Chains A and B, each alone.
Chain A
Amino acid sequence: MESEIGESTSRPSCSVNGGNEAGDFECNICFELAQDPIVTLCGHLYCWPCLYRWLRLHSHSHECPVCKALVQEDRLVPLYGRGKTPTDPRSKPIPGFEIPNRPTGQRPETAPPPNPNDFSNFGLGATGGFVPMASARFGNFAMSAGFGGLFPSLFNIQVHGFPDATVYGSTSGFPYGYSGAFHGGHAHGFPQTGTQVQQADNYLKMLLLLIGVSVLIALIWS
């Protein structure tokens, strides 16, 4: 005889006469109020132990018992109510069969803060396609996101600015050792080799560093 530990003691007997009020939250397998409730993508509610046992021990195919939709264990959604901590699913052992932890919820990114600080409009709009800026709320993440976004825009600046510096010699204030093979014309995109490029890189690095530092300061101050 199988004994469900805690079953009879922990639950009030209201479910017997309770009728349909709790019906929306009854497990579709045992018909009791769902324990360690879990919901499939098709929206059907089960106790995690009930669904697990069905999928692993009894079913021929991984189907939702109600609607026969495919059930993927990593796409189940646990329901965390207020009453119980979500961390003790092992507290109810089933004799002879180990039921693992209920799958955890898949947490989307944290919503953006209501008012974006000045960091988020830090001139990156021009590079386009770098959307996750808005989600940057933690120091580390903000930094890496910021650099990822900065690179393309700096390259644009560099490529367009470079020919000028070479044509007009030292006016730019940076002593480019220009070897003459580098045309502004087809230099669009990716400067390959040469010392001038390295120097440009150094210039970029400095710029980046500056920007990084200012970002840090902005973050600290905000």
Chain B
Amino acid sequence: MSGTSAPSRKGLSKIACNRLQKELAEWQVNPPSGFNHKVTDNLQRWVIEVNGVPGTLYSNETFQLQVDFPEHYPMEAPQVIFHAPAPLHPHIYSNGHICLDILYDSWSPAMTVSSICISILSMLSSSTVKQRPTDNDRYVKNCRKSPKETRWWFHDDKV
């Protein structure tokens, strides 16, 4: 455990539960390449291993993503953070928070854990520098526990 707890420990709705079961079944048949879901009996929190793509800055590195689902998933986005140590990336804070629009304002209920993973991996793979966001220290000091409570400002498009 990395000391990060789920946003609010409210059980999944029936709709959320059904959908997550479907996503999980689909994942087991056809997982996104580069990812490993560490199966537990907790449907509401998925811990997923991310393998850096060979030929990118993160090749041979492995990270852990933690995905927590809210009661009304997929109407509301899941909370996605990296466990420590989070990848060194201009959009990933040292506390594991990720500045990626689809996790917040641009979430759509047609997205899936799988599609989130693919977005995150492509964000990693397209990075040209290994460094923290410029405001990392200030953000980490002041932010809430959940990145979903941050008012994000998505400055540049891709990377």
Contacts and interface: CB of A to CB of B under 8 A. Distances in A.
Interface of A: 1-4, 7, 16, 28-32, 44, 50, 53-54, 57-58, 60, 63, 65-66, 68
28 contacts: A1-B11, A3-B14, A4-B14, A4-B15, A16-B22, A16-B25, A28-B110, A29-B74, A29-B75, A29-B109, A29-B110, A30-B19, A30-B74, A31-B18, A31-B19, A31-B22, A32-B18, A50-B109, A53-B75, A54-B109, A58-B72, A58-B75, A58-B109, A60-B105, A65-B110, A65-B111, A66-B110, A68-B108
Contact of A7 (B14, B25, B108): B14
B110 to A, nearest CB: 4
Nearest to A63: B108
Contacts of B75: 29, 53-54, 57-58
Nearest to B112: A31
Contacts of A7: 14
A3 B14 CA distance: 7
A44 B108 CA distance: 14
Interface string B1-25: 0000000000101110011011101
Given A30-B15, A54-B109, A63-B108, 16 more contacts: A1-B11, A2-B15, A4-B15, A28-B109, A29-B109, A30-B74, A31-B22, A32-B22, A50-B109, A54-B75, A57-B75, A58-B109, A65-B108, A65-B109, A65-B110, A65-B111
Contacts of B110: 28-29, 44, 65-66
Interface residues of B, number: 19
B61 interface: no
B137 interface: no
A64 B15 CA distance: 20
B14 A1 contact: yes
B152 to A, nearest CB: 13
Interface of B: 11, 13-15, 18-19, 21-23, 25, 72, 74-76, 105, 108-111
Contacts of A54: 75, 109
A28 B76 CA distance: 15
A1 B15 CA distance: 10
Contacts of B22: 16, 31-32
A86 B43 CA distance: 35
B19 A2 contact: no
A4 B16 CA distance: 12
A171 B23 CA distance: 90
A66 B15 contact: no
Contacts of A68: 108
Contacts of B19: 30-32
Q: Which of A4, A29, A57 has the most CB of B within 10 A?
A: A29
Contacts of A32: 18-19, 22
Nearest to A19: B29
A57 B75 CA distance: 9
